[in-house]
Structure 1
């Protein structure tokens, strides 16, 4: 039996033992993930800024860190909220919480980044669904399958880079040119 199917048997105190308040817990999760986001996005945005002399890096770092913090905080708070609203054992509380977390957090990012983030989230969703199906015997497990997926995705990306470069965003083309031409 999965943890999601037992979610109504777990109290909020078991979900966040460091705090008796669901709101305070979601807030502390937001802060911790926001700080982790700064550590993640800082180098991620600063390296291209130094290499390609871009501007406006600090607002991007803060916006993306806020995106991550909001996703984690809303997800945590939503689980407690949906648990308190339902009296039945719903297996979809985590999925519903993830939907709302994604919906609210995606609105923080710039419109031109939303499609990229949606693709990333879709990839994560597909991976989770595949693993859940494999655990239930509906799908099979492929050892090192992530390497196979990476190879396929890279092949598709390089096909478009070579055959239809105008279909890729300019920063993706620039990044690929930077790495391919320097090799």
Structure 2
């Protein structure tokens, strides 16, 4: 029989609250391990294969390295999910009660700390930033739901614009890590890098890829392209043809990329439904999100280049500070494709870049294992919220938790946690587990009566 204790603590068993599908703590851990393992294998098998193809890895990588990388990441995710429920039970036996601050935070922290140590070092930083991103958005949703602050209109767009301004200022100065510099070069063009950063001077290129080659055979396109190429170009501009051509070409290229990427994601999601609804494929290809991502990327690149070219024409000189204004204005292109995930990830990556710059200059201390600490604390916080108030999680992340655990996360009896947080069962107010009454005398009526 579960007995409610004083406020902010409950004295239920881990079966009654946590693993309601089985009274056995050991079986619950084994069951979760099996489910998470299968899902992790699907997730990382697909992720590493696609990434290897996109990065044009050689045959040696696929023969010798990919299986090891997949196995290590699968072990990481399986360990994280399994140890959470294991430590959940151990912690309950250790303290006898479920307290608000520690109900799920401590078990999640211990499980996450163990898991992240098993993952490759090269991935720890990415995972830390991603989970810090999720934790920050979750905290923001929590304070909004409590009415402590009012939402900031276009807040994610403003954050992204500020981060983009600083990023592209350093980009214009050529003072970014190689990986970040390469990504921004692809997005906005290496022509905006300092001349000393370029490996070679830009040369006129009439043929970029097969699709462009086919397009250039069209007479109308050739006429328009030639007209744009002949537009004026400032003597300080590093691009090959006229400024208008420079901007338009960039927009078309990035719009097409965004459309194809988002369209590919939608298409993959529609394939399982194709046999039941053939039109799902067509809807995936013409989905408005495809156009929105294309417009976002296209406008971002085009606006940044427009600002830089325009300022060179107006001031008759070039400056790295053009990156600040160009990046800030380009950032508002996110209005086409608003995403707090992208905004927060960009901000956290920027913070990482600035932190290491501070270390290099002696302004900031180097913190060993910072990625492990950030990941463990962030994941513990997110899991804590997933237990007590999952309605405040990012919907996509909650769906991920349900998928990777085979819906086990949704089977917790959050009605019993309402003394700790009054809206704990908000996401499924009518849910009640199908208990084995040999191991509990707890019923919905007894809980409602006590509450």
Q: Which residue of 2 aligns with 1:78?
A: 87
1:21 is displaced (CA, Å) by: 1.9
Please state whether the residue corresponding to 1:167 is helix, strand or coil.
coil
Counterpart pick for 1:30 among 25, 29, 33: 33
Please state how far the C-alpha of 1:175 moved relative to its aligned partner: 5.5
8 Å contact from structure 1 (residues 8, 83) kept in 2: no
- Are positions 1:107 and 2:114 aligned together? no
Task: Give the alignment of 1:13-162 within 5 angstroms.
Answer: 13-54=16-57, 55=61, 56-92=65-101, 93-141=103-151, 148=157, 151=160, 155=164, 159=168, 162=171
Report the CA distance between 1:108 and its aligned residue.
Answer: 0.9
Shift in CA distance, 106/14, structure 1 to aligned 2, threshold 3 Å = same
Change (3 A) 1:41 1:177: farther
Q: Which residue of 2 aligns with 1:167?
A: 176
- Which has the greater radius of gyration? 2
Contact kept in structure 1, 2:88 and 2:107, CA below 8 Å: yes
In the alignment, the residues of structure 1 paired with residue 171 and residue 15 of structure 2 have an alpha-carbon distance, to the nearest angstrom, of 52
- Structure 1: gaps (5+ residues): none
How many angstroms apart in 2 are the aligned matches of 1:157 and 1:38?
38
Q: How far has the Cα of 1:75 moved from its partner?
A: 1.1
8 Å CA contact retained: 1:19, 1:25: yes
Using the size of structure 2 for normalisation, the TM-score is 0.34
Report the CA distance between 1:153 and its aligned residue.
Answer: 8.9
Q: How many Å separate the matches in 2 of 1:150 and 1:59? A: 38
Measured against aligned partners, the alpha-carbon deviations of 1:78-99 in whole angstroms (never above 9, x if no partner) come to: 2222122113441122111221
Contact 1:29/1:72 (8 A) holds in 2: yes
Name the SS of the counterpart of 1:16 in structure 2. Answer: coil
RMSD across aligned positions (CA) = 3.2
Greater share of helix: 1
- Alignment length, in residue pairs? 177
Unpaired runs of 5+ in structure 2? 1-7, 190-252, 255-451
Closer/same/farther in 2, CA of residues 24 and 124 from structure 1, 3 Å limit: same
> 1:44-65: per-residue Cα shift (whole Å, max 9, x none)?
1112212323222221122112
CA distance in 2, matches of 1:177, 1:47: 22
